[in-house]
Amino acid sequence: MTAVTTDTPVRLTDSTKLRAWAEAVAIPLGALVVSALIFSIFLIFLGKSPVDYFQLLWKGGFGTSFSIQNTLQRAAPLILCGLAFAIPAQIGLTMIGAEGALVLGGFSAAAIAIPLVAGGVPVVLTMPIMAICAMVVGGAWIAIVGWLRHARGVNETISSLLMTYIAIAIMNFFVEGALRDPGSANKPSTMPIGKDYMVGYIPGTDIHWGLVAGIVLAIALQILMTRTTFGFAARVTGGNARAALAQGLPVGRLIVACTAIAGACAGLAGYYEVAAIHGQANASLVAGYGFTGILVSFLARHNPIMILPVAVMFGAIEASGGLIQRRMDMPDATALVLQGIIFVVLLTSETLYGRFAIFQQKAGAERT
């Protein structure tokens, strides 16, 4: 009797974990299939071939070496913005302000580079300073939202969205005013940082180092949230904040820390957009990566490691936009329609978790 009683909790725990993993894989995949079917109906209604569309999507995202590199380059900011949503989600917060942190982080990196470049500060010092500045500003910006949530009970979803528009307004104020490059007549921008201060590419590819930074950061945050006392405390708080307070956990500091980490991730994405893509801060920073990152995180179930392949998938969708536009005479916004359908179906699929009967008979037998 004692041996049976001792073994039973282990088998039950393994069975529960197995079912959770099965659901975590099957439900998102099912949501993608349903989204593809709905989008196919949309294409048929427009008189377009769904088969042609998805073939071009694959070709534009993974069909050639150029396509793969283009996909991976677009995946880099999606990884960082996905992390910016996933980390607060694990503590129970719905933060949608990564776009604002990205914009403000990228602008801050470009702004601090102006005097450094003009003063002839070496590249090896300028680039780390730009990256740190972007992360600090982005982290502080979103940490404000976390503080408002804990100290004043302000809804983090609404406040982070409003903070996004404020961040964009701040960038526009300076880019179109005091920090505007006189040579940017058509598109107001800051002074260019110069090619010597641009982030280089991974050797043998056209992919900038932002992808490597995103991968390393995803692995580090996975370890932080699953293998440390900080991560355990954050997940306990996300499960029940009142219970966490009753256990003496510093809920306020945990919330601010998680939101600061999220903002730093988005700010780093802004740095790479400036230092690797645009070379200056302007309206091109408002590219929607922060909002697409929400979808990436949802599909990955807020798991930092799973964000990596999901971000690559959405990078392929964006990379194939030009090819689809040329071959099928469809606007780039078609990809946004597909992303929107996926998001709605994903939200609907949330109600399915915990409702499958898989392993229930086995668990019942083990209890017996």
Q: Would you say residue 128 lies in a domain?
A: yes
Q: Would you say residue 166 lies in a domain?
A: yes
**What is the percentage of the chain residues whose pLDDT exceeds 70?**
91
For residues 236-256, average pLDDT: 93
Does residue 343 register a pLDDT over 50?
yes
> Phi/psi class of residue 122: alpha, beta or left (left: φ > 0; alpha: ψ in -120 to 50)?
beta
Binned at pLDDT 50, 70 and 90, residue 282 comes out as very high
The least confident of 27-31, 286-290, 308-312 is: 27-31
DSSP string, 61-117: HHSSHHHHHHHHHHHHHHHHHHHHHHHHHHTT-----HHHHHHHHHHHHHHHHHHHH
User: What's the pLDDT score for residue 364?
Assistant: 46
Q: Would you say residue 282 lies in a domain?
A: yes
In one letter, which amino acid is 199?
A: V
The least confident of 14-23, 192-201, 243-252, 304-313 is: 14-23
Q: Is 199 helix (H, G, I), strand (E, B) or coil?
A: coil
pLDDT, tens digit, for every residue of 31-64?
Answer: 999 999 999 999 999 999 999 999 999 999 999 9
For residues 67-94, average pLDDT: 96
Q: Would you say residue 349 lies in a domain?
A: no
CB 99 within 8 A of CB 164: yes
The least confident of 20-24, 215-219, 255-259 is: 20-24
User: What's the pLDDT score for residue 359?
Assistant: 41
For residues 172-182, average pLDDT: 94
Q: Would you say residue 93 lies in a domain?
A: yes
Judge residue 354's burial from the number of C-beta atoms within 10 Å of its C-beta, 0-12 exposed, 13-18 middle, 19 or more buried.
exposed
Radius of gyration of the chain (CA): 23
Judge residue 248's burial from the number of C-beta atoms within 10 Å of its C-beta, 0-12 exposed, 13-18 middle, 19 or more buried.
exposed
User: What's the pLDDT score for residue 267?
Assistant: 98
Domain membership of residue 121 as a residue range: 53-329
Does residue 79 register a pLDDT over 90?
yes
d(CA 289, CA 157): 17
User: What's the pLDDT score for residue 2?
Assistant: 42
Helices 304-319 and 65-90, interaxial angle, to 10°?
140
What CATH number is attached to the domain comprising 249? 1.10.3470
The stretches of the chain forming alpha helices (DSSP H) are 2-45, 50-62, 65-90, 98-118, 123-152, 156-175, 210-227, 229-239, 241-246, 251-272, 289-299, 304-319, 321-328, 333-349, 360-367
Mean pLDDT of the chain: 90
Q: Would you say residue 133 lies in a domain?
A: yes
User: What's the pLDDT score for residue 347?
Assistant: 87
Does residue 132 register a pLDDT over 80?
yes
Q: How many domains is the chain partitioned into structurally?
A: 1
For residues 364-368, average pLDDT: 45
Q: Which residue has the higher pLDDT, 19 or 331?
A: 331
Q: Would you say residue 74 lies in a domain?
A: yes
Q: Would you say residue 363 lies in a domain?
A: no
Binned at pLDDT 50, 70 and 90, residue 356 comes out as low
d(CA 194, CA 192): 5
pLDDT, tens digit, for every residue of 14-27?
Answer: 566 666 677 778 88
Which has the closest alpha carbon to 342: 19, 23, 38, 13?
38
User: What's the pLDDT score for residue 27?
Assistant: 86
The DSSP code for 352 is G
User: What's the pLDDT score for residue 25?
Assistant: 80
The DSSP code for 122 is -
CB 317 within 8 A of CB 334: no
